[in-house]
């Protein structure tokens, strides 16, 4: 089976061949002779770079990098940042590069179009959009250039407004997976960096991060939030060990309804026991006493209506 990375390279190779036939120059170029300034809008996760390193080792370079000719200075790289990094790790000193002529704004638009099929992450798209706004274009003009509605532009810019600057830098350096970054957006900016450090130290993936963020947001107290941060694997294990209650098929429809509700109540009580037991102050206990008494009365009523009292008396 052809790998996704190899498939991407093959698709780009076909596209570049068509473009090159229109008179675009493709030539071997030293890696150090490229301007990598626009690398600030791309993310290079180590796993993706490693996959490309293996792909280059097996198949060689199938498609050229793409760069913009500048009136002064080296050609500015637009596409192929991960391939360049992979090549450097392999000790290569040169790659084939396709050189185009384009304005700064058109060059940024080209970065998106070259990756439209296989996609940049939403955060990378946001970085490109923000870069376009620095060229003097407003949101409507950026959308028109990219073939997108202005609301799409606003949503992408909103990603960066909600993401802590430290995490944006980590993404650019390949230290933070863009998928994980998106899950952290659900947190206040002041807590994103702290939880990102927890995720990195525990080696969590995207789905685990999403679950952990949900646990932190639903935690009923600061002590409970701190437990999630201090013991992320324990918190995840506890969440995974509490699936929805399976109903007994022998029960009537009303009995199955009751069993589901009892299961939900048990999970809530279990969470209260785990997260609040040691964190309550004496003043809290006094203020909550009436709620606890009401809960006890309800439990007695439920037990009576389920027939436990009659059953134990017989």
Instruction: With respect to residue 209, please indicate whether it lies within any of the assigned structural domains.
Output: no
- Residues 147-170: tens digit of each pLDDT: 999 889 988 888 788 889 899 888
Q: Is residue 304 part of a domain?
A: no
Better-scored residue on pLDDT, 186 or 255? 186
Residue 34 falls within a domain, yes or no? yes
- Across 55-84, average pLDDT: 92
Query: Structural domain tally of the chain?
Result: 1
| pTM for this entry | 0.56
- List the structure tokens of 209: 């991060």
Q: Is the pLDDT of residue 134 over 80?
A: yes
* Rounded CA separation 131/112 (Å): 12
214: how many CB neighbours lie within 10 A of its CB? 14
233-277: pLDDT as tens digits: 888 887 776 554 455 656 677 777 787 778 778 777 776 766 565
In a domain, 289, yes or no: no
Region 109-121: mean pLDDT is 81
The pLDDT value recorded for residue 280 is: 66
Q: What CATH number should be reported for the domain holding residue 131? A: 3.90.1530.10
Give the per-residue pLDDT at 249.
57
pLDDT band at 140 (very low <50, low <70, confident <90, very high): very high
Tell me whether residue 293 is in a domain. no
Domain-located, residue 35: yes
> For position 290, what pLDDT does the model report?
84
Confidence of residue 311 (pLDDT cuts 50, 70, 90): very low
Planar angle of CA 40, 44, 47, nearest 5 degrees: 170
| High-pLDDT (> 70) share of the chain, % | 82
pLDDT in tens, 200-213: 999 999 999 999 99
- What's residue 71's pLDDT? 87
pLDDT band at 306 (very low <50, low <70, confident <90, very high): confident
98: confidence class by pLDDT, cuts 50, 70, 90: very high
CA distance 89 to 51: 12
Residue 72 lies in a domain: yes
Say which residue, 60 or 261, is predicted with more confidence: 60
The model's pLDDT over 17-28, given as tens digits with 9 standing for 90+, comes to 444 444 467 899
Q: What is the mean pLDDT of the chain?
A: 81
94-100/65-68 β-pairing = parallel
Mean pLDDT value of segment 75-103: 93
Tell whether the model's pLDDT for residue 10 goes beyond 60.
no
Predicted pLDDT of residue 248: 62
The rounded distance, in Å, linking the Cα atoms of 269 and 257 is 19
Q: Decide if pLDDT at 9 tops 80.
A: no
pLDDT of residue 252: 74
Domain that holds residue 49: 4-174
Residue 249 lies inside a defined structural domain of this protein: no
């Amino acid at each position: 089976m052809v790998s996704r990375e190899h498939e991407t390279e093959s698709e780009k190779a076909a596209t570049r061949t068509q473009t090159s036939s229109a008179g675009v120059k493709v030539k071997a170029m030293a890696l150090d002779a490229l301007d990598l300034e626009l690398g600030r809008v791309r993310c290079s996760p180590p796993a993706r770079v490693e996959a490309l390193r293996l792909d280059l080792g097996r198949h060689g370079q199938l498609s050229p990098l793409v760069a913009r000719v500048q009136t002064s200075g080296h050609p500015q790289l637009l596409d192929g940042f991960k391939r360049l990094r992979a090549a450097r790790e392999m000790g290569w000193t040169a790659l084939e590069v396709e050189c185009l002529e384009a304005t700064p704004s058109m060059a940024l638009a080209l970065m998106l179009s070259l990756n439209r099929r296989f996609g940049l992450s939403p955060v990378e798209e946001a970085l490109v959009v923000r870069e376009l706004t620095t060229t003097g274009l407003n949101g409507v003009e950026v959308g028109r250039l990219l073939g997108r509605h202005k609301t799409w532009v606003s949503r992408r810019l909103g990603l960066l407004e909600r993401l802590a600057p430290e995490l944006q830098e980590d993404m650019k350096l390949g230290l933070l997976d863009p998928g994980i970054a998106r899950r952290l957006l659900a947190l206040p900016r002041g807590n994103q960096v702290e939880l990102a450090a927890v995720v990195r130290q525990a080696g969590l993936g995207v789905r685990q991060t999403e679950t952990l963020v949900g646990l932190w947001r639903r935690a009923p107290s600061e002590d409970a939030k701190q437990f999630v941060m201090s013991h992320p694997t324990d918190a995840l294990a506890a969440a995974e060990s509490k699936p929805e209650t399976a109903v007994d098929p022998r029960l009537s429809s009303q009995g199955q309804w009751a069993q589901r509700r009892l299961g939900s109540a048990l999970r809530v009580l279990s969470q209260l026991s785990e997260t609040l037991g040691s964190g309550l102050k004496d003043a809290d206990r006094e203020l909550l006493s009436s709620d606890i008494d009401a809960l006890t009365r309800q439990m007695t009523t439920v037990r009576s209506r389920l027939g436990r009292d009659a059953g134990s008396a017989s």
